[in-house]
Amino acid sequence: MNKIRKGDQVIVIAGRDKGKRGTVARRVDEDRIVVEGVNVVKKHVKPNPMKGTTGGVIDKTMPIQQSNVAIWNPATGKADRVGIKLLSKAEQEARKTRDNGVRVYKSTGEEIKA
């Protein structure tokens, strides 16, 4: 179970974009994620008349290590760590889920809704 998922609000805790907040757009692989508005680079693109694209300089969002971000807790207004709370069989059946755990904020203990 990944602690940071697509759609989560995160804050960057290390690197040149430290302090920026954004939403996780996608997971690239097991340890890299793309966050909207974070790690934006300039990319020089050649024109391609076959595809109908024009050339120039574009802004592109690049992946960032998930260890450099922390989940944003709106209740406290700070970065927080993620814990896994295990569910009993009765809770699993009530939720109709196959997951045996849910993500919770470490500081408050409340469940992460995503």
Residue 95 belongs to a domain with what CATH number? 2.30.30.30
Using CA atoms, how far apart are residues 40 and 38, in angstroms rounded to an integer? 6
* CA-to-CA separations, 84 to 4, 13, 39, 97, 100, in angstroms, rounded: 12, 21, 28, 15, 9
pTM score, two decimals?
0.83
Q: Say if 4 falls within a structural domain.
A: no
Q: Say if 2 falls within a structural domain.
A: no
Host domain of residue 92: 9-105
Query: How many domains does the chain divide into?
Result: 1
5-38 pLDDT per residue, tens: 999 999 999 999 999 999 999 999 999 999 999 9
57-101 pLDDT per residue, tens: 999 999 999 999 999 999 999 999 999 998 888 877 787 777 788
* CA-to-CA separations, 25 to 38, 79, 85, in angstroms, rounded: 11, 18, 25
pLDDT at 114: 66
